[in-house]
Structure 1
Amino acid sequence: MEDRSISDIIEAYLKEILGNSEQIEIRRSEVANHFDVVPSQINYVIKTRFTLQNGYLVQSKRGGGGYIRIERINLLDDVDVLDMLINAIGDSISERDAFDVIRTLYEEKVITRREGDLMMVMVAKQTLKLDSRVKENQLRARVLTSLLNRLRFES
């Protein structure tokens, strides 16, 4: 049997709840109790697995009636999401985060598999291969932002 981390299990649980829905609202403490983990574990899963780069928008409200809302975003229907992605990338992006953005574009059928493969090659560490990780991440952000801008104007 495959070894899965508690983060993988919580992610799968939240995605199962989300199912075909556009969004869900959860209480962090209830999910933490369900898995017998501390609430910060739920925060970690949401912050690392339910990102804009992965096709999710997360909102939270603190307090007694607080909740965490996880919304699946559809890139095809909302050009503003491409703008949000561009803003989220900013001046620098890691290879892993860039790959997540490209994978999400493919899964949302914004790009074809071939286009995705080409984009991944363009932003790969071995392609950019600079002496400085900082400069490499900055160049990767410029390349990916240019590609997203092109998609935005075609939409």
Structure 2
Amino acid sequence: MRNISDIIEKYIKEILDSSDIIKLRRSELAEKFQCVPSQINYVLKTRFSIERGYVVESKRGGGGYIQVIKVRPVTDAELIDEMIGLIGYRLAENMGESIIIHLLEEQVISEREARLMISAVDQTIPDLGVPLRDEMRANILKAMLQSLTYKR
């Protein structure tokens, strides 16, 4: 059985299939899925981030809403370059996984490549302290992504 976050994510993605920009009301979604509004916030923050190819804007005040925009790059190489630009000097495991999932969803990489990349950025692989591990993770993922630009 899937959890409520998976169900909410699927619902929002189905709406995004018909339009790259949607406006949602947090309270209406919470009522629809019988959950607290903070659950909607959690899904939007963790599953609709820039690393995953989305921009989420919140409009507050009377009649406030949340706007979710699906960013569609022109080419695979452009998407890879954008993801490399997001990585920076250090990279947390969850952000690395989000980048990889986004590339998989956009069919830039195969499932097999995604599994290999995720295992390479897994926090348990290098037995190092957090800052050094995050630096190593950033360098590994950047190198993998750069090699993809030469593959295509």
TM-score range normalised by the length of the shorter chain: 0.7 to 0.9
The structure 2 residue matched to 1:67, chosen from 45, 65, 88, is 65
Report the TM-score when normalising by structure 1: 0.74
Identity %: 43
Closer, same or farther: CA 46–131 of 1 in aligned 2, 3 Å: same
Residue in 1 that maps onto 2:132: 135
Two-structure CA RMSD over aligned residues (Å): 2.9
Closer, same or farther: CA 132–46 of 1 in aligned 2, 3 Å: same
Tell me, in whole angstroms, the C-alpha distance in 2 between the residues paired with 1:69 and 1:152: 32
Pairing 1:6-155 to 2, within 5 Å after superposition: 6-77=4-75, 82=80, 84-113=82-111, 115-125=113-123, 127=125, 129-148=126-145
Report the TM-score when normalising by structure 2: 0.76
Closer, same or farther: CA 108–29 of 1 in aligned 2, 3 Å: same
Q: Secondary structure of the equivalent of 2:63?
A: coil
Closer, same or farther: CA 31–118 of 1 in aligned 2, 3 Å: closer
Closer, same or farther: CA 63–154 of 1 in aligned 2, 3 Å: farther
Q: What's the CA shift for 1:107?
A: 2.4
Q: Secondary structure of the equivalent of 2:18?
A: coil
> Which stretch shifts more, 94-103 or 63-72?
94-103
Length, aligned pairs only: 152
Q: Secondary structure of the equivalent of 2:62?
A: coil
Q: 1:37-59: CA deviations, max 9, x gaps? A: 22222111100111122222212
Gaps of 5+ in 2: none
